[in-house]
A and B are shown apart, each in its own frame.
Chain A
Amino acid sequence: MMESMNAIEVDDLTKQFDDFTAVNHLDFEVKNGEIFGFLGPNGAGKTTTVRMLTGIIKPDFGQVSIMGLDIRRDPIRAKQLIGVVPELSNAYTELTAWNNLQFIAELYGVPKKDARQRAEKLLGKFDLYERKDHKVRTFSKGMKQKLILAMSLMNDPEIIFLDEPTSGLDVMSARLIKDMLLELNKEGKTIFLTTHYMEEVNQLCSRVAIINHGKIAAIDAPEKLKMKVGGLKWVEISFNTSVDISDFHTMSGVIDVRMSADKLRLYTNEPGRTVYQLVDYSRSNDLEIVTLNTLTPTFEDVFIKLIGEVK
């Protein structure tokens, strides 16, 4: 397969449920080997889009191509190339972890020997090997989610679709899954990630699409989106003792001041000048600066702004 080929191509994709247009003429592509984030508020059309991309439901209009294969015309071959982690935990709880993996291998036609080797390797990687013969109903949410990710890798897919893979997981499990995604991406896998966690998108994704009301609101690299959106910056400072918040409102360039725990957040359009003023203030009042940070808009700010614009 050509390296330059797009892993996923979406052309004019549309889905309607009665009078409601869930997905409205979407056009985008995901490059081979990238981690692509797909974001949107609840009900924006994310899951419907992912279900059409993975061949679970048929679009009313438009085309989806998976590694050059039309998912409608050639669904079996196209699905053979993908691994899917749907939104909710869905391993068979009455089967053991091992049997779940073997079942998936059989569904994808993986030869028995490869299936055994892959299952052993994946269970080891996800720290589940000791529990391989236990029924999944005895697993914690984190263990189930790791198993579901392992199941999606049993066919050694070219593209992995993940819908909220770290939702509700503890920090360690979430980190393990994120590290695994980065590792898979290094191995050349294309990853299509749907998530609500902005920080996850910021850390993992090379490009991101934001969808709202079934339409793409923006699509670009996270940092580029932040630059495009621009907006306020702020300086966050904490002193060794409490200060009077009203002292800061008069500082030049400062638009708003908010107290958060032991930190002051000064919203400003001149962060450099604000820092100088804060240092002067600490000297003149004989205060010690404990922490001082200048911050730019987070990806969450970008998300909120773009979603607001599409409304």
Chain B
Amino acid sequence: MIDQLKRACAIAKKDVSIYYLKGPVIIFGILFPVFLFLAFVIGRDLPVDFLIAGLLSMTIFFTSMSITPVIAPTETQTRNLERLVSAPVSITTILLGDMLASVLFGIGISLVPILVGMAIGVTVTHPFILAAGIVLAAFCFSAMGLIFSSTPTSMTSTVMMISTMVKFPLVFISGIFIPVGELPQWGLVLASVSPLTYITDLCRYSFQGTSYYPIWIDITALVIFLIIFMTAAVKLHEKSLPERL
């Protein structure tokens, strides 16, 4: 178990070197959520701490899911996957490694909106809950990205298209631009099935001190989503692996 965890860390280290520590990836990770966010908030009169909480949740969401969907297709294409699978590591270990790299990237980039918020006077009321939420959400969204990477293809564009089709609708139903409490009944139902809703709600609580759901529900929901996503990712990768070799 510890051996496999160490090997997952080696895979994470490799992923960080190859896929994450690239100027364009980092810049895109920061700028994309910022621009998307600005496009929707400019001209609307909303409190700064509400906005920063939304920006933060969106940043974690986009950055944690940015690279994980493409690692497996890329390594299928570059024929690295076969070498990796022939090593004494389980599929769970490989996925855990990919996930750890993504979590580190997600956490690192999420510091940017927090620092921006603090620079313009926003205070973090519940820093420990925020930290726990960021870590949990980063794991959750990375695992979600792994589900997309199980598509048996070596074409990264195919995977990116599928993940984008899921990511964008989630942004609009998760209380980032409109508070969950102001959504109609059908909107509330949709919001409750999006993991992004719970991290957004948790961020609002951490910055503003108020949230739509009790905080324990936010955390429990993220844990449940993480378990579901990771289990699904492992099963799907086990099934699709022979087709990708």
Contact = CB atoms under 8 A, between A and B. Distances in A.
B239 to A, nearest CB: 11
A125 B87 CA distance: 23
Contact of A89 (B14, B79, B87): B79
Given A56-B86, A92-B18, A94-B17, A107 B242 contact: no
B235 interface: no
Contact of A79 (B4, B86, B241): B86
A77 to B, nearest CB: 7
For chain B, what secondary structure do more than half of its interface residues adopt (helix, strand, loop), or is it mixed? helix
A199 B13 CA distance: 42
Contacts of A106: 6-7, 9-10, 13
A95 B79 CA distance: 15
B85 interface: yes
B88 A103 contact: no
Most chain A CB within 10 A, of B13, B18, B82, B83, is at B83
Contacts, number: 72
A43 interface: no
A99 B82 CA distance: 18
B158 interface: no
A94 to B, nearest CB: 5
Contacts of A95: 14, 17-18
Contacts of A84: 83, 86
A94 B18 contact: yes
B88 A76 contact: yes
Given A57-B245, A84-B83, A86-B79, A92 B14 contact: yes
Nearest to A54: B86
Contacts of B17: 94-95, 99
Contact of B83 (A80, A90, A93, A94): A90
A80 B86 CA distance: 9
Most B-side CB within 10 Å, residue of A76, A77, A80, A88: A76
A33 interface: no
Contact of A109 (B7, B11, B13, B84): B7
B7 A88 contact: no
Q: Which of A77, A79, A80, A107 has the most CB of B within 10 A?
A: A107
B161 to A, nearest CB: 24
Nearest to B19: A94
A90 B79 contact: yes
A108 interface: yes
A91 B84 CA distance: 10
Given A76-B90, A84-B83, A92-B18, A109 B245 contact: no
A107 B80 contact: no
Contact of A86 (B4, B11, B13, B82): B82
Contacts of B9: 106
Interface residues of A, number: 30
Nearest to B14: A103
Contacts of A151: 83
A76 B1 CA distance: 11
Interface residues of B, number: 26
Interface string A192-209: 000000000000000000
A45 interface: no
Interface string A263-281: 0000000000000000000
B185 interface: no
A88 B79 contact: yes
Interface in B1-27: 3-4, 6-7, 9-11, 13-14, 17-18
A254 interface: no
A51 interface: yes
Contacts of B18: 92, 94-95
Nearest to A148: B83
Contacts of A229: none
B89 interface: yes
Contacts of A109: 3, 6-7, 88
Given A56-B245, A95-B18, A107 B79 contact: no
A75 B86 CA distance: 10
Contacts of B14: 92, 95, 103
Top-5 shortest CB links A-B: A106-B10, A79-B88, A90-B79, A84-B86, A107-B87
Given A75-B88, A151-B83, 15 more contacts: A56-B245, A57-B242, A57-B245, A77-B88, A80-B88, A86-B86, A91-B80, A92-B78, A106-B6, A106-B9, A106-B10, A107-B89, A108-B87, A109-B7, A109-B88
Interface of B: 3-4, 6-7, 9-11, 13-14, 17-18, 78-80, 82-90, 241-242, 245
Interface of A: 51, 54-58, 75-77, 79-80, 82, 84, 86, 88-95, 99, 103-104, 106-109, 151
23 contacts: A55-B86, A56-B82, A56-B245, A76-B88, A76-B89, A77-B88, A90-B78, A90-B82, A90-B83, A92-B14, A92-B18, A92-B78, A92-B80, A95-B14, A95-B18, A103-B13, A106-B10, A106-B13, A107-B7, A107-B10, A107-B11, A107-B89, A109-B7
